């Protein structure tokens, strides 16, 4: 019986790994399609071959404790083109990733909060030890949603981390990840460096 139980467990684990990889693959296909649909996109269909990603790794999909913040003042988050955008700190998230305790900050954009379509959007920009080597030097972003918070927890999947538009072209107001979200470990998940030629808008 023990051998059968072990075999069933191994099959279950393998099945989960395959289905998770398939989920991430579908997510990335939709991500690529959005570049073609978005009129403001810096990339064309022919550029998509230059997008690269780490293999799906479920160890980077974590359930974080979330602590909502109150009475936070609006501040100006710098952008890579020298301007800034208005944000406020929405919550702290605490979790363990590869045996390291981490705290990060979630932000809400003032402009998006006033848009009914994006009023629940949460922004998680971050930098890590892969920047300027395997990933974009300016850090990466993860999109979350207020409605994803359940019982003071929220799921964060670094496999869905993506590059700002500034990784592909200048002329965009991409927020610079605040220092408090600078991780002292290599997050080998999500989008890698773009290998196409960076574009310059006239």
Q: Looking at residue 196, what DSSP letter applies?
A: S
Cβ atoms of 53 and 192 within 8 Å: the answer is yes
pLDDT in tens, 155-191: 999 999 999 999 999 989 999 999 999 999 999 999 9
Instruction: Kindly list the distances between the CA atom of residue 44 and the CA atoms of 81, 139, 167, in Å, as whole numbers in the listed order.
Output: 22, 22, 14
Cβ atoms of 122 and 146 within 8 Å: the answer is yes
Cβ atoms of 185 and 129 within 8 Å: the answer is yes
Rounded CA-CA distance 167/79 in Å is: 13
pLDDT in tens, 110-130: 999 888 889 999 999 999 999
pTM of the model: 0.89
* Residue 98, token pair as written in the block: 């590869």
Rounded CA-CA distance 182/184 in Å is: 7
């Amino acid at each position: 019986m023990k051998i059968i139980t072990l075999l069933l467990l191994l099959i279950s684990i393998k099945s989960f790994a395959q289905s998770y990889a398939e989920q991430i693959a579908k997510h990335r296909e939709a991500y690529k399609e959005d570049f073609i649909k978005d009129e403001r996109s810096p990339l064309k269909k022919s550029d998509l071959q230059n997008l690269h990603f780490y293999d799906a790794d479920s160890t980077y999909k974590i359930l974080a404790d979330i602590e909502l913040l109150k009475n936070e003042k609006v501040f100006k988050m710098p952008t890579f083109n020298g301007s800034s955008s208005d944000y406020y700190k929405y919550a702290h998230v605490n979790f363990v990733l590869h045996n390291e305790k981490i705290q990060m900050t979630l932000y809400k954009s003032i402009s998006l909060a006033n848009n009914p379509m994006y009023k629940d959007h949460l922004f998680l920009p971050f930098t890590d030890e892969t920047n300027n080597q395997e990933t974009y030097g300016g850090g990466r972003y993860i999109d979350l949603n207020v409605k994803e918070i359940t019982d003071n927890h929220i799921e964060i999947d670094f496999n869905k981390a993506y590059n700002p538009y500034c990784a592909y072209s200048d002329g965009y107001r991409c927020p610079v990840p605040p220092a408090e979200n600078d991780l002292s470990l290599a997050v080998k998940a999500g989008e890698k460096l773009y290998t196409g030629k960076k574009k310059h808008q006239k």
